[in-house]
Structure 1
């Protein structure tokens, strides 16, 4: 029968059919669409494609079953010697009924082909060469009319063009499959990398590694083997997919000797082998064998390397040796590299966590050693009325979040009071953060308080977390707050008012919940009057002031302090001192102690060092030194600029540049320390420059 021109279908019909067929991505989709078009136009109940491969004399069959599922079948025997062979030898339409079909090709009848009414196979040709056939089947005993045959021929011509185009696209592009595999492998690699790198807990990491490898490679036994802290031992984290929905997780410690993992640790190379029941197996491999019903196991052991360091082994076991193809092994090596990075991170996190816990434990132990007096106020010792008043104030303010300003001379125990306030507050679950404003260089103080971003200034090579951020949900103790530079005080005020700040080099606002406890030995009120301290910050700090009495104003506490300090220092030095003479206590009580408790502690420490025996020995002549006669203060008289300059300069030289204190220049001039400092600044006198 001659071919009928396609125009008989109508121009619009041909256009729509051609467009629909050209949109199909592969031969299976083309076969399915052909079957749909044949049914819609009532040309056939079923349609399929049969393609011939000259190179290996094989035939491939694409059909859509009644269930709607597209199936592919290929062979070089039954199908290759069926209707397609007839079409190749006689390039004309083949049509017949089921009896003739089953008689000619009995092996196909009843297998690939169920009983039907009429069968038609039309040739698919390209450049004068037949490369397959387009198959149409009617279930009933109704033959095709001449017009229907014409339409089938026209439809087959279009399918031939589309099928040739699809084949050329796949076969001519040699790298097409390779590119697809590389794309899929890259997606797998990215998915596994994203899944495992964020895991810092080792058990979670191994579980996630196992889940991803099982999903992409259908490998059922996955283990990560790490060396134990105990010599000659291995820690094995395993996951077995005996049930795909409920994997079995296991962690065990085994002997390293004789294991396959030991071989990989020594060679640092991948190990791939088939494991047989008769092989000499280490206990763990034997257990693995028994778990999988003594089936032959194909094992792949991949080293987990961090540079030149061997971290562990990724151990994969599967009953089907086809799981470890050359392509899969290449990808699994890349996955092992990512898993090694994740294991390295998890081990580093474990070490950091261990050191952190150790630091916390050491801090608690140190605190317990220091808190040798049973009291709600820890290290604070005192039964005087002055100290009772202080401790009552501490109890009153501790449970609130109000800012506290602790005022007192050097050595009176301001930090101990701050710690007591924190420990009695609702924030005591977190450690109090402290900072000494006088001990920090002015240029670094802001960075230390608020933190900085990398590159914020010269030398800022990494991001730094500031004290305010560290003290979130806790207390921040700012000691010597009176020494804070004027230019930094507005920033401190802002944090106290707004509870937010910015790191140096960043414009991102960071909110913080910090309870501030400040302390100073300076007269902030006078500093405000001298414009050395901002008045708004002073009022913000001075919400609840606590004045600590100097030691000379609470002499009844000195015996208690001497006993406590003696026993604490003696225990620290490994000495056994169990007695303090009453005369020694009496003399210590009569002293003025300008250095307060800190000075008393230093005297006791020296006495413990010099003591031989169990009774504290203190040099009595040293304690009975008569107080030096203080130089008469130079009367403060109105002086003109030059005379005042010379007078202050002379007195500073006589006192070796010391301004404050009983032997300082302020005392000799009869001036307050802040007043003298203000005049020195006005006159341009630098005490540090004095020879």
Structure 2
């Protein structure tokens, strides 16, 4: 472009210059064009724009090199305290030579922005009466500007002020528009995920839905929800892995909480993000990630799932590419975790409601079963064998009288239940039965506990105490293990039975009482009488109406009823959902010796319930003793010695002829959900069709 003096431009020339400057897309292009114009007009060798920012404490520098590349300068604070600050107090054109510039602003003069020059001029950029920066011009020669040239520079500066303000407005609008678009996209993602997960009340379905949405929007391939198990110190992990985008692998597992990353998040209630390498100390879940993803470095992001101040669980995300977890994505993932927490809270509440509903159903079933087998007045007594029928008939006959009853039977046969049934069927059932175990109390305290004592009756008797006989007035007193009562105390018991009166220790005042005595023992009292270990007169006084409880081995037909009742009762107490018992398990239990009788059976069932995974009772057979010449029926749900998960699933599939679902399917026998079993089969590479002949 040839040189044309500014004075020769006229209105058309100014219009062309203005149009050229207005066409520039950004400040860098504007500065480059401005520099070309002033050089062609012989007004300056360099030009730049300095803009004030952030309350005039920062300034930005806009200029270009000869190659057209923008000049970068980072010290915005130093720049704001340079020549442009003088414009704020004296909004006139600033002019100086290099010496004056160096003396006034030595740090700027030493920078690469201001190489030695001849003359410097800075004119204010203003809009609506406010100075927002300056336009500077530099001449390398020693010739100062004439008055006419200053006027031309002012004309340029006025145009630059208008163009700069428009470019800033356009950039700001673009930034705002981009921000609005980004926020709109994020909002759409949140709405989509919220709609997808809030309606899911089954935890497996919820995890699948969460995983599907997060994988779709963020391309994260390993997604898990971790919740605390009903078992103390354990975690339930619901996982989805996108090894194959079209066929994700779903899995559910239980691990110990101690030493896991999830434990750290539960304690801190804060997001945790880190890179894991194969040589790091790994919990089982993280080890599985390395196995599944070919030992690549894993970037993990663990987000707490909070309901108010309560932490429900952890949303665990793992990906080999750490670039997925950008600051923008993390902000959105936090918001997603809030929505997922609401969905988890809903699902857990639904599970609890469902559990309570099932519990009511189980209670009704158990009650109905008891009503079908025994009259309701016999309470918790379960049995329909001939031996138990005879016992219950005796209970019914003696209950209405006030006769003393002696219940005989081995340990664990249910003597207290019979005593309670006698009381409940009697006319004394308006008051609660009082009970005491004679073997569980030292001899020195037994007398005081039975008859009471006055204050000061003996050392340590600081207050008056009412004894069991006094508490049982107009009711029934159940003395368990009466055969263990000390011989020296037996005459006092005999007296109260015969006279219906007694004295508290430390008192000579007679207290009359109306008590119906029910005693029980597992010892042979008759033999104890012969051995002079039990008073014969007390024995005959207790043995008015003896009831012999048969041991469990003599009524095996009652065992299935007892097993079912104990299973449902214990499962409810432990919060488990067990709805079926294998027939072979019941047959095996019927063949047991049961030296501990019903109590031993209940303990075995409780342990089985604790060890059961799923809804089918799993019994560990080596822990129970069979009757002679009997052998256990194999429990299909138990793993054999040395048998791993692959071998166990393969064996059960063969035994069920490849049937997975249904009451006789492999999933039911293994105590797993159908979907969980199918996922594990896929992970282990088990083809059920290939197993069948």
TM-score (norm 2): 0.37
TM-score (norm 1): 0.37
